[in-house]
Amino acid sequence: MGTRPSGDRLLRRSVRLGGGWTATLVGVALLGSTAELLLPAALGLAVDAALGSGSRWWPVAACALVALLIVTDTLTDLATGYGAARATARLRGHLLRHLFRLDVRQTRRHTVGDLVARLVAQAADAGQAGNAVVLGLIAVLPPLGSVVALTILEPVLGVTLLAGLALLAVLMRAFVTDASAATTAYQRVLGGIAGRLVESLSGARTIAAAATADRERDRVLAPLPELAGHGRRTWVLLAQAGARTAAVAPLLNLAVIAVGGYALTVGWLTPGELVAAVRYAALGAGLGAAVAALNRLVRSRAGAQRVADLLDLPVTPDGDRRLPRGWGAVSLRGVCVRADDGRTILDRIDLDVPAGGTLAVVGASGSGKSTLAAVAGRLHDPDDGEVLLDGVPLHRIAPAELRRAVGYAFERPVLVGATVHEAVGLALPVEVARPPDDAPASAPVLAATRAAAVADCVARLPDGFRTPLDRAPLSGGEAQRLGLARAFVAERLLVLDDATSSLDTATEHRITQAVTGHSGGRTRLVVTHRAATAATADLVAWLDDGRLRALAPHRRLWADPAYRAVFLAGDGTR
């Protein structure tokens, strides 16, 4: 399986991302290779000098070349390390930004473990591209230089070495193609195992409760034999390449020595030139560095393709318009959303939510409630139609402007940030979100946590709002309230997708009043399964199999038995 053009383009870009360190590596490696090619000649001249037919300075020159090789080897290690680190960091940053700009439906097609594997492991492999290309090109200089040097010493020697290198090149050709396929397959299966592992870890409590740890372990590790097969295939190919080199190289070396010995007996070579010829033969036939460079390049190409597969996904285009004055009027015009298999999730939805009003979205499971909530704040775009906020299509609004205007809270929120304060103020501008030195929190964050009935819980944490998230002992309900607080800092529209399911009745009632009350001038879109919540809304959007069955106040819809049946799984109260 070959690397597609997008992977090759990313590989070339990765070479450039190494910046000055890659350029340094070129210079240092080239200098080292030159010194390596000059050393046999210097040793040969030093031998002739010892036999009384040359300058006494050649031994000194040989020692200087050895010292230069030590220095260039050290600098090569330094340049490869820093260059790969620089390129990898930039690749990861670029990939991460790209992932955050993708439509959420695009990222859901990949497991979290697979995305992490590409971001961490495959990006690191691709980041080695500069080293792989430079060292790969430099690795061919000693064999080619040895051919030239031997030709200068005695043309027959050059022809002998060139014939052996041509044979080795033919034997190595298949290694690149086969190893690329094996390495790509290995990385793909490894990403799949990582995805299964992340799924299992997220459901660890369920697995423990069901006592199915052994079964889950077997499920996660089920692709292990396939992974082992690809891994063995890679090592077998590498071993075969090494074996071919090991088999041909000594014969090639012996052939050069035999021809050189004959040349010495007939007076074509001096003893020192024979020593140089033997060294050049060893240098030309020693292709271990070339095999290692090829293997590194194969891994870089495979990693680059895995990263490029994600970078090839089209991003959601950013808008550039600012919102006019307003309080969050929302309009959906002919909104259609389809699944990957073509199934319709939302079918020609038309509705208007007046500024400052509350819309409850209800319907049976699978009716499209969460999808409507997602397109209402542009978590992803509809396939047809458009959504407008205060008269401006969402796809035309600048991202920062949109995220200040719209706040989301979910049933299972993921808290993002170093501290509790950062998690709540995630969408706020930096200058607004930063807490004053003499206050526990900034004013918007403090107001939001009070509205979400979580300010007292935060105050009891070891460092209050400055408590690191990974050291904050939060219950499920407290985490959900922090997610609500994060949404409450929005300026125009709150989208709550079943965001109070983990709360006790008293806290839920208090928050429902804060959400559906008419203070603050924001529009609220609330996905709910509870009749009591729907009853407090100004309007109810009743979804049925992706279509808007009705848009009316709850009290008017309650007369319909089919509408009442929607809440049978909930509290059932009017």
Residue whose pair of structure tokens reads 């929302």 in the numeric block: 330
User: 304 by DSSP, 3-state: which?
Assistant: helix
Residue 383's nearest CA partner among 342, 354, 421 is 342
Q: Is residue 321 part of a domain?
A: no
Range 202-207, long-range pairs (CB < 8 A, 24+ positions): none
Cα separation values, 538 from 134, 420, 511, 517, 524, Å: 67, 33, 17, 10, 10
384 shares a domain with 270: no
Pick the last residue of a domain from 252, 276, 311. Answer: 311
First CA to last CA across the chain, in angstroms?
62
Residue 276's nearest CA partner among 38, 463, 547, 515 is 38
Predicted pLDDT of residue 28? 92
Residue 378's nearest CA partner among 99, 103, 110, 107 is 103
As a whole number of angstroms, the distance between CA 218 and CA 365 comes to: 32
Instruction: State the DSSP H helix or E strand holding residue 48, giving kind and residue range, or none if neither.
Output: helix 20-50
Residue 388's nearest CA partner among 345, 350, 339, 336 is 350
Q: Is residue 319 part of a domain?
A: no
348 shares a domain with 302: no
Predicted pLDDT of residue 91? 93
0.85 exceeded by pTM = no
263 shares a domain with 379: no
As a whole number of angstroms, the distance between CA 45 and CA 400 comes to: 71
> Who's near 408: CB < 8 A, 6+ residues apart?
373, 377, 379, 487, 495, 496, 497
Q: Is residue 418 part of a domain?
A: yes
Predicted pLDDT of residue 442? 83
Q: Is residue 14 part of a domain?
A: yes
Question: Is 138 within 8 Å of 290 (Cβ atoms)?
Answer: no
Predicted pLDDT of residue 72? 92
Q: In CATH, what number is assigned to the domain containing residue 512?
A: 3.40.50.300
Q: In CATH, what number is assigned to the domain containing residue 158?
A: 1.20.1560.10
Alpha-helical regions (H) of 286-429 = 288-311, 369-376, 399-405, 420-424
As a whole number of angstroms, the distance between CA 371 and CA 363 comes to: 12
Predicted pLDDT of residue 302? 85
Pick the last residue of a domain from 311, 339, 372. Answer: 311
Q: Is residue 323 part of a domain?
A: no
36 shares a domain with 173: yes
Predicted pLDDT of residue 573? 41
Pick the last residue of a domain from 281, 311, 341. Answer: 311
337 shares a domain with 230: no
Residue 409's nearest CA partner among 509, 526, 512, 275 is 526
Q: Which domain holds residue 58?
A: 5-311
372 shares a domain with 515: yes
163 shares a domain with 230: yes
Residue 47's nearest CA partner among 65, 59, 60 is 59
Question: Is 501 within 8 Å of 480 (Cβ atoms)?
Answer: yes
Q: Is residue 316 part of a domain?
A: no
Tens of each residue's pLDDT in the chain, 574 residues: 444 567 888 888 888 898 889 999 999 999 998 988 888 888 888 887 777 666 778 888 889 999 998 999 999 999 999 999 999 999 999 999 998 888 888 887 887 878 888 888 889 989 988 888 888 888 888 888 888 888 888 888 878 777 777 776 666 666 666 777 787 788 888 878 887 887 787 777 778 777 788 888 888 888 888 888 888 888 887 777 767 666 676 777 777 778 878 777 877 777 777 788 888 877 776 665 666 777 788 888 888 888 998 898 888 888 889 989 888 899 999 999 988 778 889 999 999 999 888 999 999 888 889 899 989 988 888 999 999 999 999 999 998 888 889 988 887 778 888 888 888 888 777 766 677 776 778 888 888 888 888 888 888 888 888 888 888 888 777 888 888 888 888 889 989 887 666 566 666 666 666 666 554 568 989 998 888 888 888 999 999 989 999 999 999 999 899 998 888 754 444 4
404 shares a domain with 293: no
Token representation of residue 114: 């697979």
Q: Is residue 574 part of a domain?
A: no
Q: Is residue 571 part of a domain?
A: no
Name the β-bridge partners of 353: 330
467 shares a domain with 408: yes
360 shares a domain with 302: no
From edge to edge, which strands make up the β-sheet containing 493-497? 406-410, 493-497, 523-527, 358-363, 539-544, 547-552
Cα Rg of the chain, angstroms: 34
Cα separation values, 448 from 113, 403, 410, 425, 468, Å: 33, 16, 16, 9, 19
52 shares a domain with 154: yes
Residue 4's nearest CA partner among 340, 296, 311 is 311
216 shares a domain with 354: no
Q: What is the number of domains present in the chain? A: 2
As a whole number of angstroms, the distance between CA 31 and CA 346 comes to: 65
